Amino acid sequence: MKIESMKEWATARAGIRAVLASCVVCLAACSGSSARKGRPDSLAQVDSTTSGTEVALDGDIESNDLDDEETPRSPSVDEIQSGKLPNIPLLTQDDKPVRFYDDLVKGKVVMINFMFTMCQGSCPGTSAKLAKVQDALGDRVGRDVFILSISLDPEKDTPTVLKQYAERYGARPGWSFLTGNRSDIEGLRHRLGLFDPDPVVDADKTQHAGVILLGNGAIGRWSRILALAKPQQILDALDRVALDPQKWKPAMWSSEEPQAPNASGR
Amino acid sequence: MLTRRDLLKMGLLAGGSAMLPLEQALGRNLLRLPGGGNGGSPATTPFLRSLPLPATVQPVAAFSTRCATPGGTVFYEIHEKEGLHSFHPDLPPATVWGYQDVNAPNAPLTPGPTFIGRVNVPAVARFVNDLPTAPRSFGVPNTTVHRHGGFQEDLSDGIPTLFFRPGESYDYCWPNSNPDNDPREGESTLWYHDHLVDFTAQNVYRGLAGFHLMFDDVDSGNENDPNPNALRLPSGDFDVPMVVQDKLFAGNGELVYDSFSHNGFLGDKFCVNGAIQPFFSVKQRKYRFRFLNGSNARFFEFFLSNGRSFVQIGADDNLLPHPITRTSIRIAPAERIDVVLDFNGIPTGTAIFLENRLQQTSGRGPDRVVSHGTQVLKFIVDGPAADPSQVPNNLRELPPINPGAVTVQRRFEFARSHGGWVVNGEFFDPNRVLARPRLGVPEIWTLKNGGGGWFHPIHIHLESHRILTRNGRIPPAWEQGRKDTVVLNPSEEVRIYIEFRQFAGQYVFHCHNIEHEDVAMMGRFDTIL
Ligand SMILES: [Cu+2]
């Protein structure tokens, strides 16, 4: 399904502007429209266990939830089982409107990371790493595998800004930089599991920029790797998920390493 | 409820992997059940079904193998299969992966059949991978089998990258000897499970796990044993392993796993031995229950609804030196707690519930103990029975250790980093060796939790260890025995004593919150001569 019309997109953009105008601390208040109606994982929800009385709502469970809007919710079993992901509208660095699931993930092999162009922490390293992976994959990018870099700072990261950033890293067709509505993107980030239960840590965007998700949308197999990995390790992980399982051979490990560094004493 | 066996009879199930025609035959998509609310698993009526008891693995004729096979070696053949499993009568069967004894092709797949090992009786277990080559959704059919708590060469330890693929098999050589041939090192409750690098969480959750019990002259598995050294703990039908796991189910009965639960996956149904909230009829006598937390990320704390205590006799793979009476038992992923419960004197018909009162709302770890928990299992007291068993005050003596003489110290910090998990700042790289302990040289390892409120149950392969201190203090009595998994509570620093005595090779230690392990809180250590 393509995005219905540019009008729909325009509405979303208007929403972004409204949010910018009205909301100072945006992360919590705007988070997660699509991951909202999920399954609270609390003990209380282990259902109808007939513990005699009403199970386990001990009063303090609720207080533990602090601000309900801040607590990331798990998706419903039906959402998980469907294999579908939030179909949020996004714009590419070429100003092209797309839907996240239908257009970018469904039936495809993808590598996904979150970033923002002003990021000084982990993002530049991750983008440089992805550039190396892109080069190693050659013309398979855009054909067998797609790279999706999604902005966590969508108001600043307009398509124009993302386009410049993409050029800086030599992104070729098949590597998309994506922006959209902040609450949609925050919902997507939660759905993809890149959140911290500690709201303070979670509010630090750089904490979510160090993981590369690897997915095979055709069979619903997902894995992930830290962007700290060497490009070859990322390529290997991609093979395991998707591209060429036969290339994954059983192996013992090499043994040439020098003495372990952390031993004291003899 | 249609069981796999019924389906086989009806000719609906040709082979484990022929799922599509089967789904059509069942009209699976039409079998929607009322939802459990809040987007969770469908509602199920508790205590409808009796506790499943996994069968014992039976030997097969000797075969040629890479393993050494001295006289008396026992041979086994296990097939890894996909098939249907009924977790509850209210739910249609779910597609699981499991272990199947070649002698028992109709047995439930998960948990797998229980291996019974005898000390110094070597075993060769051939595992044959019959899994589908191209499964849908979660689970990756390259498998490697780790006997958790086992004292074995690296090639038989389930090295995470040394997998065998569909159509292939692998022989695991289990010598079943004790370190230093010391009877004080004798083991009791082990388990076996898949250990595939990056995908252990998915594969174990699909069902690839089972028990492996060990017996010797002391823990002999015979409550009538005339040998004066024998403990005569409850045995046979009265020695019951119970693996507790949380699972999530779709309306069509299928297992649901969220591949994006990087922080640790939680289910909302509690299964014991592959059944949601079963009941278990017990006689008015003593039972030995070996609890294993086989969950990916959930911790449990069990209480008995009648307020009685547990008599704990073992922790992880080992018996304690003396029994310990506890009103509740907390158990982290991969830990085992071996207890005796006595139903003597409790009137026939009495129901007693095993309750989990530990609230946990995220993969980070448990929140708190609450006053009313979830009933996981219902014991129904069902008449008298002879009870020749006993719980002696002296169980298994601990081997002496001398931490003061240790000269080799290592430090490992287990921390969250950039949305993943690291050991000493590095995520798992099989070509990076974090430690090279020398065989026969005791060491002290400091295991530090890097903070952020995360819990990390750390499992070290090959040898059990002894917990010396938790944050500088002596651990509780039930943690003073030999352990193979040690929980690092938030920000805690734990010092352990460990000595590797045999088997030079490549091993791993890792967090057993399996999602943490997969991304990639695991380190390689090489034991050297
Ligand atoms: Cu952990």
Torsion A162-A167-A170-A176 (CA) sign: positive
Using pLDDT thresholds of 50, 70 and 90, give the confidence band for residue B477: very high
Q: Which two tokens stand for residue A234?
A: 């990322």
Q: Do B256 and A81 touch (CB under 8 A)?
A: yes
**Domain B74-219, CATH:** 2.60.40.420
Confidence bin at A256 (pLDDT 50/70/90): low
Q: Which residues of B touch A216 (CB under 8 A)?
A: none
Q: H or E stretch including B526?
A: strand B522-527
pLDDT at position B262? 92
Confidence of residue B19 (pLDDT cuts 50, 70, 90): very low
Nearest CA distance, B217 vs chain A (angstrom): 37
CA distance A58 to chain B (A): 6
| Whole-number pLDDT of residue B33 | 30
CB-CB neighbours of A11 under 10 Å? 12
Kindly tell me if the per-residue pLDDT of B383 is higher than 70. yes
Query: What's the CA angle centered on A122, arms A175 and A231, to 5 degrees?
Result: 55
CB of B185 within 8 A of CB of B466?
Answer: no
Nearest-CA neighbor of A143 among A101, A113, A173? A173
> What angle do the packed helices A123-137 and A231-241 form, to 10 degrees?
70
Mean pLDDT of chain B: 92
Among candidates A43, A207, A251 on the partner chain, residue whose Cβ is nearest the Cβ of B373: A43
With beta carbons less than 8 A apart as the criterion, state whether B105 and B48 touch: no
Taking CB atoms and an 8 Å limit, are A43 and B37 in contact across chains? no
* Residue appearing with tokens 């009322």: B34
Q: Say whether B237-384 and B74-219 share the same fold.
A: yes
d(CA B503, CA B489): 31
Please tell me the distance from the alpha carbon of residue A99 to that of residue A87, in angstroms, as a whole number: 5
Tell whether ipTM is more than 0.90. Answer: no
CA torsion sign for B294, B295, B298, B303 is: negative
Question: Which of residues A265 and A264 earns the better pLDDT score?
Answer: A264
Q: Do B137 and A221 touch (CB under 8 A)?
A: yes
What angle in degrees, to the nearest 10, is found between the helix axes of A182-191 and A6-22?
90
Query: A138: phi > 0 → left, psi -120 to 50 → alpha, else beta; which?
Result: left
Is B85 in a helix, a strand, or coil? strand
Nearest-neighbour CA in chain B from A160: distance (Å) = 28
Radius of gyration of chain B from its Cα atoms, rounded to whole angstroms: 22
Q: Which of B45, B258, B453 sits opposite A75 (nearest CB)?
A: B258
Convert B267-312 into a string of H (helix), E (strand) and C (coil).
CCEEEECCEECCEEEECCCEEEEEEEECCCCCCEEEEECCCCCEEE
CA-to-CA distance for A236 and B273, rounded, in angstroms?
Answer: 36
Check if the beta carbon of residue B523 is closer than 8 Å to that of residue B506.
no
Rounded Cα distance between A91 and B144, Å, is 43
Note the pLDDT of residue A123: 76
| Interchain pair B39, A39: CB under 8 A | yes
Write out pLDDT tens, residues A68-104.
334 445 688 988 988 899 999 999 999 999 999 999 9
Cα B518 to ligand 1 centroid, rounded to whole Å: 10
Q: How far is the CA of A209 from the centre of ligand 1 (A)?
A: 20
**Judged by CB atoms within 8 Å, which residues 202-241 of B form the interface with A?**
none
CA distance B304 to B259: 34
Two tokens at B161?
A: 């990258």
Using CA coordinates, name the residue in chain B closest to A259: B436
Distance between CA atoms of residues A106 and B402, nearest Å: 60
> Tens of pLDDT along A108-138?
999 999 999 998 877 778 899 999 999 999 9
Task: Determine contact: B135 vs chain A, CB below 8 A.
Answer: yes
Sheet of B74-85: strands edge to edge? B94-101, B74-85, B123-129, B169-174
Say yes or no for a CB contact (<8 Å) between A226 and B420.
Answer: yes
Q: Which CATH class is domain B403-527?
A: mainly beta
Could you tell me if residue A167 is left (phi over 0), alpha (psi between -120 and 50 degrees) or otherwise beta? alpha
Q: What are phi and psi of A8, to 5 degrees?
A: -60, -40
Cα gap B455→B437, rounded to integer Å: 26
Span A143-163, average pLDDT = 96
For position B358, what pLDDT does the model report?
Answer: 97
Q: Indicate whether A22 pLDDT > 90.
A: no
State how far residue B272 is from chain A, nearest Cα, in angstroms.
Answer: 14
Q: Do A77 and B39 lie within an 8 Å CB cutoff?
A: yes
* B507 to A52, A252, B93, B251, B500: CA distances (angstroms): 47, 11, 37, 41, 11
- Residue B179 Cα, ligand 1 centroid: separation in angstroms? 28
Closest CA–CA distance from residue B442 to any residue of chain A (Å): 12
Give the pTM.
0.86
Domain positions in chain B: 4-30, 74-219, 237-384, 403-527
Higher pLDDT among residues A63 and B71, named by residue: B71
Three-state SS annotation for B435-500? ECCECCCCEEEEEEECCCCCCEEEEECCCCEEEEEECCECCCHHHCCEECEEEECCCCEEEEEECC
- Separation of CA B265 and ligand 1 centre (Å): 12
Give the tens place of pLDDT for each residue, B251-278: 999 999 999 999 999 999 999 999 999 9
**Residues from chain A contacting residue B270 (CB–CB below 8 Å):** 46
| Nearest residue of A to residue B277, measured between CA atoms | A49
HEC per residue, B100-156: EECCCCCCCCCCEEEEEEECCCCEEEEEEECCCCCCCCCCCCCECEEEECCCCCHHH
| CATH 2.60.40.420 for domain B237-384 | yes
Q: How many CA atoms lie within 13 A of B113 on its CB side?
A: 25
Which residues are paired to B378 by β-bridges? B279, B353
Question: Mean pLDDT across the stretch B458-485?
Answer: 97
How far does A41 lie from chain B, in Å, by closest CA? 5
User: How do residues B409-458 score in pLDDT, each as one tens digit?
Assistant: 999 999 998 889 999 999 999 999 999 999 999 999 999 999 999 999 99
pLDDT at B27: 28
- pLDDT-wise least confident of A45-49, B124-128, B422-426: A45-49
From A95's Cα to the closest Cα of chain B, the distance in A is 29
pLDDT tens profile B177-207: 999 999 999 999 999 999 999 999 999 999 9
| Cβ proximity of B424 and A213 under 8 Å | no
Nearest CB to B250; choose among A60, A77, A195: A77
Calculate the CA dihedral of residues B272, A75, B519, B266 and round it to 10 degrees: -20
Cβ(A90)–Cβ(A179) below 8 Å: yes
Question: Which member of B142, B268, B269 has the closest CB to residue A248?
Answer: B142
Phi and psi at residue A18, to the nearest 5°: -60, -40
Question: Which domains are present in chain A?
Answer: 3-60 (no CATH), 79-247 (3.40.30.10)
Residue B165, chain A, CB below 8 Å: the answer is yes
**What is the DSSP secondary-structure string of A187-201?**
HHHHHTT---SSHHH
Identify the residue whose tokens are 């922490």: A121
What's the mean pLDDT in A12-34? 37
Residues of B in contact with A191 (CB under 8 A): 260
Q: Which helix (H) or strand (E) holds B379?
A: strand B368-381
Contact B170, B164 (CB under 8 A): yes
**Which chain B residues are Cβ-neighbours of A52 within 8 angstroms?**
372
- Asked if the C-beta of B412 comes within 8 angstroms of chain A's C-beta atoms, the answer is yes
- CA A16/CA B446 separation, integer angstroms: 49
What residues contact residue B469 under an 8 Å CB cut-off, 6+ apart? B475, B494, B495
